[in-house]
Chain A
Amino acid sequence: MGKEISRRTFLKVAAGAATASGLIPQVRRIALEPFVRPPEEELPGRATWFASTCRQCPAGCGIIVRVINGRARKIEGNPNHPLNHGKLCARGQAGLQVLYNPDRLHNAVRQSGGRGSRIFSPIPWSEALDELTAALQSLRDPQALAVLAGQPSDHLYTILASFLEVVGAPPAVIFDLHTALDGRAECASLSSRWFGEHQLPIYDLAHAQVVFSFGANLLETWMSPVAQSVAYGQMRQSRLGGRGVFVQFEPRLSATGASADEWIPVPPGTEGIIALALGRIIVEENLGRAGKHSDHAHLYRNVSVADAAQACGLPVEELRRLAHLFAETDRPLAIPGGQLTGHTNSKQAMDAVMALNVIMRRLGRHGGVFTPQPVPAERFASPAPTSNLTEILDLVERMRSGDIEIFLIHGANPIYELPAWVGFKEALEEVPLVISFSPFVDETAVQADLILPDHTYLEGWGYQVVSPGADRPIISGQQPVTQPLHDTRSTADILLSLASRLGGAVARALPWEDEAGFLEESSAQLHDNSISTYDARTPAGFWSLWRQHGGWWSKRAIKREPEAVGMPKGAMAVPAAAFQGDKGTYPFHLMPYSSLTLSDGRGANQPWLQEAPDPMTTARWNTWIEINPESARSLAIKDNDMVRVTSAYGSLQAAVVVYPGIRPDTVAIPTGQGHSDYGRFATTRGANVMDLLTPSPAEQGNKFAFCATRVRIEKVGQVKPLARLEDLDGEGRESIR
């Protein structure tokens, strides 16, 4: 029997033999070449984060996007961004569903079956550009070119504005419903009226002790909801000096109102009257620790507290209690919100609210009102303004009378967003060439000849001067976090290539090769600036830091004290708000409100937002009408009953939510649903509240008075169970299933 050789022994012997014979394997070092080369920054399983800007609303929050294998996977707030401090709202979180939306256009298309046919045939980009260039060249009068844009990125606005100026066309009309319901144009005009500033004022919510919000849904959609929610959290718990008191004046208890300590259900349109009465009491009784009020007594000369009490249905004693609550603290703050702008007396009402801050000496004080410090570079000095209704109606009139030959539309959906009475759709039919830049086939794009889809915001470049700002000047930078998913093209790039094709003065005014070149040049204006949070030796290095940080901001807080240079000189008065529709036929005030999740309807194609419950009603995926329990009883309607809502202008059907937080004379309907186009998740559900709105009463001029409509309600006899999170026991009380 031979001796067995163990494995170990065998290896020992083999290794010894190999060494002895010099047979150590020699391998030439040749790198393996894979068939597909991964990008260099890509580590399998590790995420790369890119900083950019959220474009789901005009606030301009900084975001960071988690990218794995070249695909965006999650959006979070940019923790270094001084506006939102790493936080993000529901709409911001849902941004991936804009990028990956299954109903996006994949390329430029011509509506080959004629407008409204929804029959699209793809066209090459070169052909689209040729056609656009030829159309512009054959334009008889440059005034016949019109552009409507919905809160464009400031870089696009700047390029667009220079383009229109040099070709001699009228400036772009800037409109979208979200900012219209915010009352952005009115708030800007308040700022310029009072402080001689075109930038929106900043309310230092975080440090105020008593906050009186007059119809500002500042924790939902108004202005900069994430920044305001961050401040709200601080106002509530994390500061010395105790918890702030928050009082909300509005006819319907909003989610913001639900977070307030007190909700004062004022009749629609009387918010300004209350503010005046509070001011009168403060001045008359010389309340507060801010010194004598004799300087301001003249403002309230003609105010009768008793009349105001009657107009707003509150006892004089209650008004006095509120005036004492407001004045007898060191840091009160009054905020004129977007809802005020929906009434015919908005200007006077906002003046009355702002005056409360002035008489309490709250301008430029801790927990008071500030104006933003402008960005110290000329390129960023004039961010996109917001047009008022007069400018929109003027555009519609010019379209209707055949003065417009080419109409370009970007980032807005006016056929859906504007009230039907404006007649935008009919006017658009009179325009020979309509070109939409929407990435989606929305209601307005369906009426276009060509759709030249822009990138979505996670694929595109841009920047935004943050307004209303935070405690310092901020530019939020936007950059592609991923390759474009489809064959889309940036609208700014289209404008730049149009300019170079048109040649001459136009090409000279817009010399940039592409939008990234424009952005790099813009960023260089801030290179070597002493207040920058970062700096580099060269402009190129500065530009790369710009992209790394997701924009530019000052390293220190710079707050500016506004000067009330344009404060009303004489006695203030707030007229009673006018409403359309007589009280007998139309017994209810209609309050359309911006949906927390769908905003003005732009969120309706994102299933995460459709499925996220409305915080107050817990309803999802549809339109509802909120009605006071007492009014519901008198009309014999219950939860989920379908009702027809009729105004002097139109009607719609919606399911009922019996809502304890609304005045008996008021009903409320959220915006956002009732799309006829805009993809599979948005269409065939709910109704569009804008169909009900009536023109503002004639003597009031052209105002977007979205709260000035009266309606009546009739039961239609059907029941539509809303997809609510809560279960109802039939008495309006609920339990979670």
Chain B
Amino acid sequence: MAKAVRVSAKEKQDENRRRWGMVIDLDRCTGCQACVVACHAENNVPVVGEQEAARSHSMHWIRIERYWEGEYPNVKARFMPVLCQHCGEAPCEPVCPVFATYHTPEGLNAQVYNRCIGTRYCGSACPYKVRVFNWFRPDFPEPLEQQLNPDVSVRQRGIIEKCSFCVQRIRRVELDADASGREVEDGEVQPACVQSCPPSALIFGDLNDPESEASQLARSRRAFRLLDFLGTDPAVIYLKGGETNV
């Protein structure tokens, strides 16, 4: 008599658990900054102005790094969008004394703004330099406050913020799918940067779903992860530029 295999609710949940991740195809990226502005617009990221930007206080959640290679005339510039890597083994998480930064079950590195007390330990621990600090109270001269996305809280002075993989969009898609009794489809969740990217250099999806576009691309032989040797297990996978998959 075969013994019935009992799957506990928890195990079942683990089995279906997503790991949200992003693939960034450097061969497509043109450095056009559409993702940067889209992110400011979606996530109510404040603008700090010239003086503070010059002091490295600007608050982009995603930035395009540009690297020069070689000397004139054999010079090459390469672009690399860098955002929170949503590390599986995130160096920012254990250092937070108040658990403001923590790991969600579906692989998001989350920041709980109203727990944050502004020690900036996480910002120091992050090897990717993607955590930004609110040095000032954000200023939206009237009527610019009307541009704010009501789904995202405006952060106050004295706390750290960073890319959330547009968690408000993930939740909205999940709720909508739930309400109509279906599963979330691949490609349905699009963070603002992914949605805007003209050459489709950014692809978002569930890395635990072997069929998702993101996880298929993540298995490309062009794939690498940023500072992978640190053992941070990033959920952002880069595809090397300048060569073809085909």
Contacts and interface: CB of A to CB of B under 8 A. Distances in A.
Interface in B160-174: none
Contacts of A241: 246
A426 interface: no
B149 interface: yes
Contacts of B77: 253, 258, 616, 661
B64 interface: yes
Contacts of B192: 74
A72 B222 CA distance: 40
B28 A219 contact: no
B212 interface: no
Contacts of B66: 258, 615-616, 618, 726
B223 to A, nearest CB: 13
A480 interface: no
Contact of A725 (B28, B47, B63): B63
B181 interface: no
A608 B56 contact: no
A485 B60 CA distance: 29
A630 B75 CA distance: 14
A149 to B, nearest CB: 27
Interface string A67-100: 0110101111100000010111111111011011
B38 A93 contact: yes
B32 A608 contact: no
Contacts of A680: 141
Given A230-B200, A232-B30, A660-B75, A73 B149 contact: yes
Q: How big is the B interface, by class?
A: 35 or more
Contacts of A660: 68, 70-72, 75
B196 interface: yes
A234 to B, nearest CB: 8
Contacts of B54: 721-724
Contacts of B50: 610, 620-622, 685, 723
A597 interface: yes
A517 to B, nearest CB: 30
Report which residue of B31, B58, B199 has the largest number of chain A beta carbons within 10 angstroms of its beta carbon. B199
Nearest to A232: B199
A611 to B, nearest CB: 5
Given A96-B147, A258-B78, A723-B53, A607 B200 contact: no
A263 B75 contact: yes
A629 B72 contact: yes
B190 to A, nearest CB: 9
B48 to A, nearest CB: 7
Given A94-B37, A612-B37, A236 B27 contact: yes
A243 interface: yes
A471 interface: no
Interface in B55-96: 56, 58, 60, 63-66, 68, 70-73, 75-79, 82
Interface in B169-223: 192, 195-201
A639 interface: no
B148 to A, nearest CB: 7
A685 B77 CA distance: 28
A564 B34 CA distance: 37
Interface stretch (B14-22, B112-120, B237-245): B237-245
Interface in A582-626: 596-597, 607-613, 615-616, 618, 620-622
B234 to A, nearest CB: 16
A102 interface: yes
Nearest to A685: B50
Contacts of A84: 198
Nearest to B31: A615
Given A258-B31, A660-B75, A97 B196 contact: no
Contacts of B38: 88, 90, 93
Contacts of A596: 32-33
A392 interface: no
Contact of A661 (B27, B75, B149): B75
A662 B68 CA distance: 13
B197 A237 contact: no
A597 B150 CA distance: 26
Interface string A481-512: 00001000000000000000000000000000
A468 to B, nearest CB: 16
Given A229-B199, A621-B50, A259 B149 contact: no
A737 interface: yes
Given A629-B72, A630-B72, A256 B197 contact: no
Contact of B41 (A94, A610, A622): A94
A90 B30 contact: no
Contact of B33 (A615, A630, A736): A615
Interface string A720-737: 011111110000011011
Contacts of B246: 240-243
A238 B81 CA distance: 20
A100 B32 contact: no
B141 to A, nearest CB: 4
A76 B196 contact: yes
A620 B58 contact: yes
A265 interface: yes
Contact of A73 (B31, B58, B147): B147
Contacts of B245: 237
A102 B143 contact: yes
Nearest to A628: B72
A581 interface: no
A730 to B, nearest CB: 15
Contacts of B68: 660-661, 733-734
B146 interface: yes
A71 B60 CA distance: 25
A69 B198 CA distance: 29
Interface in A246-283: 253, 255-256, 258-259, 261, 263, 265
B157 interface: no
A256 B148 CA distance: 32
A101 interface: yes
B143 A613 contact: no
A317 to B, nearest CB: 16
A73 B60 CA distance: 19
Given A87-B196, A737-B129, A75 B41 contact: yes
Interface string A218-238: 011000011001101100111
12 contacts: A74-B192, A96-B41, A219-B32, A232-B28, A233-B198, A243-B243, A610-B47, A612-B40, A616-B31, A630-B72, A723-B58, A734-B68
Interface of B: 25, 27-34, 36-38, 40-42, 47-51, 53-54, 56, 58, 60, 63-66, 68, 70-73, 75-79, 82, 129, 141-144, 146-150, 192, 195-201, 242-246
Given A89-B32, A233-B201, A725-B65, 18 more contacts: A73-B148, A73-B150, A89-B196, A89-B198, A91-B37, A93-B40, A94-B41, A100-B147, A225-B198, A232-B30, A233-B199, A242-B244, A256-B30, A611-B40, A611-B60, A620-B53, A680-B141, A725-B60
